[in-house]
Amino acid sequence: MVDLNHLAATEARNPATAGADSMTVLDFLTTMNQEDHKVAPAVAKALPAIAQAVELVVAAIERGGRLVYAGAGTSGRLGLLDAAECPPTFDTPPGLIVGLIAGGEAAMTQAVEGAEDSPALAEGQLDGIGLGPADVLVGIAASGRTPFVIGALAHARRLGAATVSIACNPGAEVSRHADVAIEVDNGPEVLTGSTRLKAGTSQKLILNMLSTASMVRLGKVYGNLMVDVRPTNQKLLARAVSIVRAATGCTQRAAERALAQSGQRAKTAIVMLAADVDAEAAERRLAAAGGFVRDALSEAAPKAAPKAAPKAACHTAPPAAAAGPPPAPAA
């Protein structure tokens, strides 16, 4: 018999919603919202572990490795989502951030029964992508005991890859298979055992932190601007123009012209305008600076007094090491 007094937090009953089926819609939504407010503070307690995980991710990518997510159900879908959103946001190359889900691609839209119970399936998927010692594997399991995720972490360690676990129960089993264990206790779900709710929300917050902070550390951001955004549609092209203007204080026409000359690379366009150089020279500066705009511009300080014509198009102050990019000009 299951001991109901020692259920994991993700499986325990929540007394706040014990009468959910008799609540008014507004009362139920109010209670649900109150429960959701507990998620961010719970994640905050795990920030030191999340920071350690970011360092592992950055180190892996810097040595030529990849960030690989592995999970089942909601956990796997969230990993796939984060992996899919990085290329347009940060211009990461295909395959740098990989999402694996128990049951394969079919499991993105429908449950694949039994897939999460097989460690062997996880090993097969990792071997299929050629996981190796340069990579870092992040195993995501709300319960903290999903066999697919445990199998993935154990296999990754055997291959010499760095490992991170994310679980929503204290003392989770997956934590014993990871170099860095992230554990978040959100308390019982609004619907007993429905980990797509608070557990899923906390996992999304953590994955946001892992990928975003890693990209910041890798030079994909200038100030708080996504300077490596890939303008693959009209919305993102407009965002690239806005980013260049915010970073340099230039006119819209100047930003559009620099983007066109740089092959629609906002990072290159910013250095072109701020340093008063052409696209080729800007690319050289960025390469020498490891892709960091701030460092590329620090080389430009001695020639921060551009000619009169460019100055009229782009009012850029000499880049200050601590000041960050100036605010966007008024529309």
| Long-range contacts of residues 227-231, Cβ cutoff 8 Å, at least 24 apart | 227/266, 227/267, 227/270, 227/293, 228/89, 228/90, 228/91, 228/266, 228/267, 229/88, 229/89, 229/90, 229/91, 229/266, 230/87, 230/88, 230/89, 230/91, 231/259, 231/264, 231/266
299 is known as an active-site residue: no
Selected catalytic residue, list 11, 55, 85, 299? 85
Give phi and psi for 222, each to the nearest 5.
-120, 115
Task: Let me know if 189 is a catalytic residue.
Answer: no
- Here the tokens at position 138 are 């992040």
- DSSP code string of 87-110: HHHH-PPTTSEEEEETT-GGGGTS
Active-site residue, selected from the candidate residues 55, 105, 113, 116: 116
**Residues carrying an active site annotation:** 85, 116
